[in-house]
């Protein structure tokens, strides 16, 4: 992988900073619950198909009392797309070279009343430069208050940059996080955005600032929801409902999730890519 330029270095540094802040907050929640669980970090390297070094990342996983399984991964990779896959990537149809850096997070909770969650943000370079990402809430047992607060915090982050962002990106999330063969949404939504083109310097700065605020919004609201619900008593029926719901989550991630496909097609770390899968799930 070639040496990173200033923009690539700034993006990578931010995703690593966000990772550190999120992991520290999640570990603090475990301490509040009387657990000493902590993240276990595993670095990995990627080889480009050309044989040259292709970057790598760090897989972080914690299994605790509140977080049954949470993965927070950061990666910075680059090189050349193989075969026809590059033609499916924005800006890579004529030139298969790419760079990508980002953070990806999935949390599966021990208490069925605490929602699972997904968040990722990323910066990619092909013949284009763009940002993408978002966050969505996935409660086995939905609470209107939690859903409203999650959406309100994301809306505030969006509105600070462009009043059109939230309605557009909420609709995008609703369309994307849908399981066609089940005819159900994966959860209660959030925001999803992609291809925020940043070839112009002013656009890059604006879109980077927005992407940072999405991460800050997640760090602000999700721990609040976790603390609100993590001591709620639950029954065996609640757990059964959560495990069946997790099966739907796994189906989406294995069949439809573009991030999963991107990681597998670009030689990413298999364990890091599949950390989104729940530790236990059922199918009726």
Residue spans of the domains in the chain: they are 6-142+193-276
Element (H, E) at 260: helix 258-265
Quote the pLDDT of residue 258: 86
Compute the distance between CA of residue 178 and CA of residue 251 in angstroms, rounded to an integer: 11
Whose CA is closest to 202, among 53, 3, 7?
Answer: 7
Query: What is the CATH number assigned to the segment(s) 6-142+193-276?
Result: 3.40.1500.10
pLDDT recorded at residue 252? 94
CA atoms within 13 A of residue 278's CA, in its CB half-sphere: 25
Q: Give the per-residue pLDDT at 52.
A: 84
What pLDDT, on the 0 to 100 scale, is given for residue 44?
A: 94
The pLDDT of residue 148? 98
Active site residues: 118
| pTM across the whole model | 0.94
Query: Mean pLDDT by 10-residue block, N- to C-terminus, for the chain (284 residues)?
Result: 91 98 98 98 90 92 98 95 84 90 98 98 96 98 98 98 98 97 96 94 96 98 98 98 96 91 84 90 91
Distance CA 186, CA 192 (A): 13
Q: Looking at residue 50, what is its pLDDT? A: 77
In sequence order, the 6+-apart residues with CB closer than 8 A to the CB of 256 are 179, 180
């Amino acid at each position: 992988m070639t040496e990173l330029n200033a923009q690539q270095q700034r993006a990578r540094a931010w995703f690593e900073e966000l990772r550190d802040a999120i992991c520290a907050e999640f570990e603090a929640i475990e301490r509040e619950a009387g657990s000493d669980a902590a993240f276990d970090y595993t670095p990995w390297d990627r080889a480009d198909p050309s044989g040259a070094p292709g970057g790598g990342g760090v897989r972080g996983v914690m299994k605790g009392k509140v977080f049954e399984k949470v993965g927070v991964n950061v990666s910075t990779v680059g090189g050349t797309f193989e075969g026809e896959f590059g033609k499916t990537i924005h800006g890579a149809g004529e030139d298969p070279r790419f760079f990508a850096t980002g953070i990806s997070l999935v949390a599966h909770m021990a208490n069925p009343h605490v929602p699972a969650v997904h968040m990722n943000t990323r910066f990619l370079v092909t013949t284009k430069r763009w940002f993408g990402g978002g966050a969505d809430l996935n409660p086995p047992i939905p609470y209107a208050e939690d859903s409203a607060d999650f959406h309100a915090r994301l809306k505030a982050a969006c509105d600070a940059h462009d009043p059109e962002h939230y309605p557009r990106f909420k609709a995008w999330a609703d369309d994307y996080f849908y399981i066609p063969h089940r005819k159900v949404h994966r959860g209660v939504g959030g925001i999803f955005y992609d291809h925020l083109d940043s070839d112009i310097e002013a656009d890059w700065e604006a879109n980077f600032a927005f992407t940072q605020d999405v991460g800050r919004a997640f760090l602000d609201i999700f721990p609040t929801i976790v603390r609100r619900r993590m001591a709620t008593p639950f029954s065996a029926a609640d757990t059964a409902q959560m495990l069946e719901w997790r099966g739907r989550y796994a189906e989406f991630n294995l069949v439809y999730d573009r991030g999963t496909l991107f990681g597998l097609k670009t030689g990413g770390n298999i364990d890091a890519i599949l950390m989104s899968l729940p530790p236990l799930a059922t199918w009726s």
